Amino acid sequence: MCETCGCSITDVSHAVMPDVMHNHEYPAPVRTETVEVLKGLMHANDHAAVHNREHFDRSGVLVINLMSSPGAGKTRLLERTAEALGDRFRIAVIEGDLETENDAERLRAGGVRAHQITTGSACHLDAHMIHKALHEFPLAVDGQPTDILFIENVGNLVCPAAFDLGQHLNVVLLSTTEGDDKPAKYPVMFRAADLVLISKADLLPVLDDFSVERAEKSLRQIGVETPMLRTAAGRTHELSAWLEWLESSLEAWRAAAA
């Protein structure tokens, strides 16, 4: 469980005063101190995120934070996206995982510039990690700037939504192999999304327990009008709607920046 964002603290008394948890008499100072620490953590992260975003803006790079549960298909989507757009746009990826460089190596094998962040025990990326990565992973190479930088966050539908990295857009994948009620179960994540992608949509004909209509209804019931698109990046490559969204988002961001 992550110890850098407070998600491991399910009850303040359990974390700090286990001898009083049986009678639920939680000393106010303990709760106050814990909350203040978490507030300080988020304030420091947000400050670093502002710095990152200013750097991205000066560099003319659109940054997209890609989030999902583990195994939803983020890396495969990035592989196919780079194949489709690599001849027109310079794409780079910062990968986040607890351990290994497996995903970054997959992308590099396909010709994509990729940098791996291993978080150890942290279940999310934060702005400081991105800031450090940018010192090792320049946005421009041989005078050629990056057009789109994807940040593939750690597979997790909880903590990544709480941490601003300096990105411009959030994209959340919802795989057809998951439940279609995920937006209702993880509303913070899906409320943060600028786009929801139904991934592995080519499996829909053989799945009887996932409904795109129910998934969209679940999304609307948490009070957001976030667009939802279908993608298939596996054996069947159907990415046209996603690629169009990417291109229009890049054009709109550049126009706004100008």
Is residue 84, in this structure, part of any structural domain at all? Answer: yes
Which residues does residue 93 pair with via DSSP β-bridges, in sequence order? 114, 150
Residues near 182 by Cβ (< 8 Å), separated by ≥ 6?
69, 157, 174, 190, 215, 218
Look at residue 141 and tell me if it is in a domain.
yes
Name the pLDDT band for 234 (thresholds 50, 70, 90): confident
Alpha-carbon distance of 56 to 241, in angstroms, equals 26
Task: Kindly state the tokens that stand for 134.
Answer: 């940018």
Closest residue by Cα to residue 49 from 155, 123, 160, 156: 160
Q: pTM of this prediction? A: 0.87
| pLDDT at residue 38 is higher than 80 | no
Distances (CA, A) of 51 to 2, 47, 187, 218: 25, 7, 28, 35
Residue 127's domain spans which residues? 61-257
Task: Give the Cα separation of 248 and 242 in Å (integer).
Answer: 10
Please count the structural domains in the chain: 1
Asked if the structure places residue 17 within a domain, the reply is: no
pLDDT digits (tens, 9 = 90+) for 72-128: 999 999 999 999 999 999 999 999 999 999 999 999 999 999 999 999 888 999 999
Assigned domain for 231 exists: yes
HSE-up of residue 197 (Cα within 13 Å, Cβ side): 28
What span, in angstroms and rounded, lies between the C-alpha atoms of 227 and 194?
7
DSSP bridge pairs for 230: 198
- Three-class SS of residue 212? helix
**Is residue 237 situated within a structural domain?**
yes
What per-residue confidence (pLDDT) applies to 142? 87
Residue 151's DSSP bridge partners are 65, 94
Q: Is residue 18 in a domain? A: no
How, if at all, do strands 237-238 and 232-233 pair?
antiparallel
- Here the CATH number for the domain that contains residue 239 is 3.40.50.300
Does the pLDDT at position 37 exceed 90?
no
Q: Look at 12-26, 95-109, 236-250 and tell me which has the smallest mean pLDDT.
A: 12-26
Q: How far is CA 14 from CA 23, 33, 39, 75, in A?
A: 12, 14, 19, 37
